[in-house]
Each structure stands twice: as structure tokens, then as C-alpha cells.
Amino acid sequence: MSKTADTSTDEPQTNQAESDLCDFLSERSELRVSFEQPDDYRNRRYDRLPVARTAAGLRADVSDFPSGKSDGRGSFSKKTYVRYRDTVNDFLQSQDVSDLENITPREISKWNQLLHSRDYARTTRDGKLETLGVFFKWAEAEWRAPQEGRKISETIARKRDDLDVSADEKSRSGDDEHRISTEQAEEVIEHLAKHDYASRQMVEFLLIYHIGCRKSALLSIDCSDVKPRDGIIQLRNRPEESGVRLKKGNKGERDVNIKPEIMGVVTDYINEHRTVPQDGTDALLTSWAGRIDDSTLYRDIAGLTKCGECIDDSGDALTKQNASDCPESIGCHDLRRVAITRMRDNGVSWDVISGRVNATVQMLKQHYDSPTFEQAAERRKEEVLNAL
């Protein structure tokens, strides 16, 4: 891969450190990445940043990024790409870094102080240092950062140790960054009921929020799985027929209880608003071509939860297609977490939630239930007051 990113003649030449960042992002996004000057940078701290493009030269959208782990070892989703892009670019530009080989612990200390001066929370600073650390571990493995003496990644690790952010704080921080409140979710539902009743988007949002299901479970539902008389929706693993495999295969199969008012919206959608696909599939969620895929579902949920104030590089309001660029938007997995927290707040037992969402109690407690301090206190309130 060329060390020089594609730039127009009126743009500054990409330096070695920027080129290394492009290589890092390109390797993990499986897309062509080069530094460019955005068309509009009113909301940008820096006027040049790495832009990912498809083989056809188009600016990459959510569906163009491969799905994978967001831990630095797998392929980057769009959201993970943006996190690494903005964090590492901020370090390079703010510290005027042109070559990673010239980095010393001093630049790391100065950047850490800069984050503190911006009034970032400790958990946010820890997360940004962690992201930068992943980048430098890659650079060191690629012999693009100093190898003699103490490695830069080790310096970053010491800075994180100094912050001493606990696992509980990290869990709460991650949840706060990628969640909406119950009140916000109810506002989305109320807006849909008034302006887009029984639409596909309303059914998607309602079912994830009501069931707490994974996106694979939602996408697997056929119309015949909806049982209004019994008040249930059947979740079945039929990858050969639907092209969708439940997270745990056949062990993920179950019947979930649906409230009458939710079931009413689903049946109204089937009877009045569901798009009849050309391929004749019985899928619940469809476009004209057939059963929708996970990228379409992701765009639908992100589109419903974007703030409405963010703009793109051209100054236009974000659409459903690029709604994930809004920091307020959330995805399906984030909405599942909100649903699980809501069930706990409403007094549903761990065992019942476990069966409903198809996850162990231990997994739910560790990764999905992240109440605010106020929510946790409210849950304890009745038991504590009665006991004392």
C-alpha cells in the first residue's frame, strides 16, 4: 500500500504519521482511506481527517464497513472506525506529530493534559487513552514506532493506571455513551404513533424495546410467527429458509409474550403497511426486494434516535443513511441494553429476563444492565425502607 494518501494538488501533503494512521484504518475497515479536507468543517476540530472510501471511490456508508469486534483485533464497524479516526487524529494534530518514530512520553503526557483541560470525565479520558494504546501497539508491531527503551504503548498504559478507572465505572460510561433514557424511547414511540403509525420502523423499535431481543432474532421473524390469539411471537432458527441464524442457533428458539397494544401495532403493520416483497418471502420486516438485512435495520434505528441537529460535511441535515454520524444515535444492541435496564427498573426478575432475551443472568448483570445511580437507588428503595 502506498505511503502517500490520495490528495488534491491544493491540499497539504500527507505526512508519515498520517499515512500510518490511514494504513491502520484501511487494514481494519477493509476500505481505502486517505486524508481529505471536508467540504464543511463547522463541527470539526481539525480541517483534515482520514476519509474511508469504497473501491468505486464513494464515501463509505455504514453498510460498507465489515462487522466485527470493536476491540482493535477485528474488523471495524463504522462507529468503531470513527472512534479510532477521531481519537488518533486528535493526538497527531494537537501534538503536531509528523512521524511516529519521533514520539516520546512527553507527547503522551501533553495530550493527556489536553484531554483534562477539555473537562473530559476520567472514564472518557481512559477510553481515549485505551484507543490510542491500541493504535500504538499496532504501530510498534509494524515497526513504525520506537522499539528501543520504553514503548509508547507502555507509557499510555501507565497513564491509564494513574486514572484508576474501575470496571464498574467503565461499564457505566460505555452505557451512558451509547444509550437513550426510557423517557427518550417513549418519546420516539409517541412520535411514531402520531406520524408514522404501524410503519416498519415503528415495529422494529417497539419489538426491540419491548422484547429486548437481538437483531438476529428480530430479523428472523416471519408473519406466521406472530400469534395474536396467543399473545406471543415465536422466535425460530431457520437459517436455510430465512438466511438469518439466531445467536445461539436452536438454543435461541423461544416464544415471547407480547402486550396486546404492541401486538395490535404489529398486526396493523402486517395488514396495512408491510411491503409485499418481490421474492414472496413471509418475512415480517421487508423491503420490495425481500427480507431486510442487518444494515437496513441498523440505519432504521439510528435514524429514529439521531438528535436532528447534526449536519454532514456539506452542511445538510443528517438523513437515515448517515444517521450513525450523530453521536446521539444508537444501534440495535444499544436499544436492547436499554430494554433490559427498563425491565429491571419495572421489577422483572433476572430469571424471567434471562429467558426472554436469551442470555444468562451472569451475562446480563455484567454487560447489559447498567442503571444510573438514581435508577439503582430506586430499585433498592422499597426493600431497604421495609427492612430498616
Using the 3D structure, point to which of 312, 333, 354 is the last residue of a domain.
333
Q: Does some domain include residue 351?
A: no
Q: Does some domain include residue 229?
A: yes
Instruction: Give residue 330's region: left, alpha or beta (phi > 0; psi -120 to 50).
Output: beta
One domain for residues 298 and 156: no
One domain for residues 187 and 149: no
Q: Does some domain include residue 355?
A: no
Q: Does some domain include residue 377?
A: no
Looking at residue 232, its amino acid is: I
One domain for residues 297 and 203: yes
For 59, list phi and psi in degrees, rounded to 5.
-60, 125
One domain for residues 285 and 210: yes
Q: Report yes or no: 323 and 314 within 8 Å, Cβ to Cβ.
A: no
| 195, three cell numbers | 406520524
One domain for residues 132 and 240: no
Which residues fall within 8 angstroms of residue 262, CB to CB, at 6 or more apart?
206, 207, 210
Which residues fall within 8 angstroms of residue 159, CB to CB, at 6 or more apart?
108, 109, 112, 129
Q: Does some domain include residue 152?
A: yes
Most confident segment among 141-150, 163-172, 216-225: 216-225
Q: How far apart are CA 309 and CA 326, in angstroms?
A: 9
- For residue 120, pLDDT beyond 80: no
Using the 3D structure, point to which of 134, 165, 196 is the last residue of a domain.
165
Q: Does some domain include residue 149?
A: yes
Which tens digit of pLDDT belongs to each residue from 299-333? Answer: 999 889 887 767 666 767 777 777 767 777 888 88
Q: CATH number of the domain that 300 lies in?
A: 1.10.443.10
One domain for residues 158 and 265: no
Q: How far apart are CA 81 and CA 29, in angstroms?
A: 7
One domain for residues 310 and 217: yes
To the nearest whole percent, how much of the chain has pLDDT over 70? Answer: 82
One domain for residues 129 and 241: no
Q: Does some domain include residue 386?
A: no
Which residues fall within 8 angstroms of residue 345, CB to CB, at 6 or more apart?
182, 371, 375, 378, 379
One domain for residues 158 and 278: no
Please state whether the predicted TM-score (pTM) of the whole model is above 0.85. no
Using the 3D structure, point to which of 333, 368, 383 is the last residue of a domain.
333
In a 13 Å sphere around the CA of 112, the CA atoms on its Cβ side amount to 23
Q: Report yes or no: 265 and 201 within 8 Å, Cβ to Cβ.
A: no
Instruction: Give residue 164's region: left, alpha or beta (phi > 0; psi -120 to 50).
Output: left
**Residue 178: pLDDT band with limits 50, 70, 90:** low
3-state DSSP of 163-205: HCCCHHHHHHHHHHHCCCCHHHHHHHHHHHHHHCCCCHHHHHH
One domain for residues 131 and 54: yes
Mean pLDDT of all residues belonging to the chain: 84
Q: How far apart are CA 129 and CA 157, in angstroms?
A: 8
**Residue 270: pLDDT band with limits 50, 70, 90:** very high
Q: Does some domain include residue 358?
A: no
Question: At 52, is the secondary structure helix, strand, or coil?
Answer: strand
- Count of domains in the chain? 2
Over the Cα atoms of the chain, what is R_g?
A: 23
* Predicted pLDDT of residue 295: 86
* Predicted pLDDT of residue 194: 94
Q: How far apart are CA 252 and CA 244, in angstroms?
A: 12
Which tens digit of pLDDT belongs to each residue from 216-232? Answer: 999 999 999 999 999 99
One domain for residues 233 and 186: yes
Range(s) of the domain holding residue 302: 182-333
Average pLDDT over residues 333-344: 89
**Residue 68: pLDDT band with limits 50, 70, 90:** very low
Average pLDDT over residues 278-297: 94
One domain for residues 231 and 310: yes
For 358, list phi and psi in degrees, rounded to 5.
65, 55
CA distances from 4 to 14, 34, 56 (A): 6, 8, 19
Distance of CA 91 to the CA centre of its chain: 23
**Residue 42: pLDDT band with limits 50, 70, 90:** very low
